[in-house]
Amino acid sequence: MSLVLRPWVFLLFHVLLSYESNFQRRNGVEATKRVFLYPQSPKVSSIVSNKYRTAYHFQPPQNWINDPNGMYLSQTTNFQIYNVEVAKDVSPNFSGPMYYNGIYHQFYQYNPNGAIWGDIVWGHSVSRDLINWIRLEPAIERTTPSDINGCWTGSATILNGDKPAIIYTGADPDKRQVQNIVFPKNLSDPYLREWIKSDKNPLIEPVGPGLNSSQFRDPTTGWIGPDGLWRIAIGAELNGYSAALLYKSEDFVNWTRVDHPLYSSNASTMWECPDFFAVLPGKNSGLDMSAAIPSGAKHVLKMSLDNCDKYMIGVYDLKSDTFVPDTVLDDRRLWSKIDYGNYYASKSFFDSKKGRRIIWGWTNETDSTSDDVAKGWAGIHAIPRSIWLDSNSKQLLQWPVEEIESLRRNEVSHQDMELKNGDLFEIKDIDTSQADVEIDFELSAIDTADPFEPAWLLDTEKRCREADATVASSVGPFGLVVLVSNNMEEHTTLHFRVYKSQQKYMILMCSDLRRSSLRPGLYTPAYGGFFEFDLEKENKISLRTLIDRSAVESFGGGGRVCIIARVYPAALIDGGTRMYVFNNGTSSVKIPQLKAWSMRRAQVNVKKG
Ligand code: DQQ
């Protein structure tokens, strides 16, 4: 404990954090100038710096990317792709984003002409480990009337165990959204570089009463029902409300719309990028949607709206061919989120190599469009995460794929620390701008936790702004502060706070970016999410944070709340950054274990295929 700094270092940190209260009150005008004026006139280097490019998150060498599209892992050869009768034998297979012949394929929305959204084609990269990627030529480009205005999001499905197909949305000359299919030209090419468009495109057009032809997109991976027919769902606006429309096919090419949606809701108007998959409660393993689904499995419907990815857990009723959520919440602010930060348009796939389900999402920049144009690049993908269902069937858990650990080096480890109120402990001897940190916090005096207010669930970001890292309560805030400049003016804070709620505890996890950078014109919210904590079963709260230059990706409570954020501290360019663990709650917190590593740079899309 001799390394724990207190109280003067913490006071500095505390003063800088509590700019609106303590510092301003004590120092009046000077404080006001110092704190409130610096965002308008910072003397910081240009944002055009390679130091903001991530070292191990997925991004192309330049230009704009958004949604992850079909992904999969490849397998065998000798498939004649022009034979569209591929699905005649509908024996169960694996499907999803792609793994093929020991190679993962990652497709993504890509603008080959610049760092803003537009001219969208399907970028294509391949990997053997989900971490190091080789960039190939785009897989699908805007060459036919049915995609001339854009090759938008879609999904890969593996037909009959070894025959990949991709269905994607095209924007046609009238800007209607239609669904098209492509097949690999040569299955013996392990990289599947070339994809051929079917002359039957568009396969599905936006027809039917109440269907908005410019809100009809993003087909899911296919799955096979008990009748042996393929199904896909498509995000749509139907009669002014959101729906995942259901289509059926015998051969994966000729599709008929089922007269009812897989699921619809009048709580919102359109769902982008629906994803539909099966999970087994408490099992950290994935299920293949086209194989027999074991009894006891639940289904998840994920949809993208309101700038975030939300999900419902329920059952897939095979008789009615509909998804039936366990709980229907009319207020969509209460729907669970895959990630409470900057994460959108995610897609999952069943990884047959390791028997897990993996989810990937898009994380946009939070600087300005002109910054992106000046940088020449915009957008990354979050680290691929294993995703599974908690044993209580109430929430999804996520964890970075284990392959990411191969990038760890220079381990530092601390055991049995205790942080009293006001303590700040510096984690040294690693690269704090490119790191992986795992911390367990053990709670004492949890009975004294403040009461939980259910209304906070309606606006968790507001709660994180109100209850920030400077506001002491009985149990919390405690956590990690990263990308801290030498004078501590810049810092990104990840912290927990414990509340008592009837028989259980509710934990608030925040990722507060409001002091993350001196640069003007950035979007710097305080993200936050709540999770339940069962004191009978656990007395530790874990935090894992992946810091990758302009990306800070955190997993709280074993992956119950995930928050990815983008930050641009001037200190990354000028002066370097530091990292601390802290407790600002009145009761002490123990840290039985803290481990941190520098992260090596991965080979992400550096080689052209
Ligand atoms: N991005 C795609 C659409 C999708 C949206 C276009 C979600 O297909 O709905 O680039 O980010």
Atom 7 in ligand 1: residue holding the nearest Cα = 345
In Å, what is the CA distance from 203 to each residue of 147, 168, 254, 423? 12, 10, 7, 62
Query: Cα of 397 to ligand 1 centre, how many Å?
Result: 25
- Domain range 64-78+98-382, CATH architecture: 5 Propeller (2.115)
CA 159 to CA 164: how far, in whole Å? 6
Residues 425, 582: contact at Cβ < 8 Å?
yes
Could you tell me the pTM of the whole model? 0.91
Least confident interval from 240-249, 292-301, 412-421: 292-301
Structure tokens that stand for 564 in this block: 């990815």
User: How many Cβ atoms from other residues are within 10 Å of residue 82's Cβ?
Assistant: 11
pLDDT digits (tens, 9 = 90+) for 470-479: 999 999 999 9
Query: Cα of 584 to ligand 1 centre, how many Å?
Result: 42
CA 267 to CA 278: how far, in whole Å? 24
Output the CA angle 414-419-422, nearest 5 degrees. Answer: 135
Structure tokens that stand for 317 in this block: 């009723």
DSSP-derived pairing of the beta strands 604-608 and 133-140: parallel
Fold of 7-50+409-607: Jelly Rolls (2.60.120)
Q: Which atom of ligand 1 is nearest to the CA of 362?
A: 11
- Ranges of each domain in the chain: 7-50+409-607, 64-78+98-382
As separate numbers, helices (DSSP H) first and strands (DSSP E) second, the chain gives 4, 40
Q: Which atom of ligand 1 is nearest to the CA of 153?
A: 8
CA 342 to CA 510: how far, in whole Å? 13
DSSP class of 206: -
Which amino acid makes up residue 82?
Y
Residue, of 70 and 410, whose pLDDT is higher: 410
| Catalytic residue list contains 67 | yes
In Å, what is the CA distance from 571 to each residue of 35, 43, 60, 441, 545? 17, 11, 25, 28, 19
DSSP class of 225: -
- The pLDDT assigned to 537 comes to 84
Q: What is the mean pLDDT of residues 467-487?
A: 96
Which amino acid makes up residue 583?
N
List the one residue out of 276, 146, 264 whose CA is nearest residue 219. 276
Q: Which atom of ligand 1 is nearest to the CA of 117?
A: 10
List the one residue out of 506, 496, 505, 515 whose CA is nearest residue 571. 515
Structure tokens that stand for 225 in this block: 């029902």
Query: Cα of 12 to ligand 1 centre, how many Å?
Result: 44
Residues 569, 516: contact at Cβ < 8 Å?
yes
pLDDT mean across residues, the chain: 89
Q: What is the mean pLDDT of residues 274-295?
A: 91
Atom 6 in ligand 1: residue holding the nearest Cα = 152
Q: What is the 3-state secondary structure (H, E, C) of 168-197?
A: EEEECCCCCEEEEEEEECCCCCCCCCCEEE
Query: Cα of 140 to ligand 1 centre, how many Å?
Result: 15
- The pLDDT of residue 538 is above 70: yes
Query: Cα of 128 to ligand 1 centre, how many Å?
Result: 27
Q: What is the mean pLDDT of residues 556-571?
A: 98
Element (H, E) at 27: helix 24-37
Question: Does 202 sit behind a cis peptide bond, omega within 30 degrees of 0 on the bond before it?
Answer: yes
Q: Which atom of ligand 1 is nearest to the CA of 272?
A: 9
Residues having CB within 6 Å of any atom of ligand 1: 66-67, 109, 120, 152-153, 169, 217-218, 272-273, 304, 344-345
Q: Which of 217, 234, 275, 306 to mutate to test the pocket of ligand 1 (most atoms within 8 A of CB)?
A: 217
CA 230 to CA 219: how far, in whole Å? 13
Least confident interval from 79-83, 96-100, 262-266: 79-83
Residues 324, 299: contact at Cβ < 8 Å?
no
Atom 9 in ligand 1: residue holding the nearest Cα = 272
- The pLDDT assigned to 17 comes to 45
Q: What is the mean pLDDT of residues 301-314?
A: 98
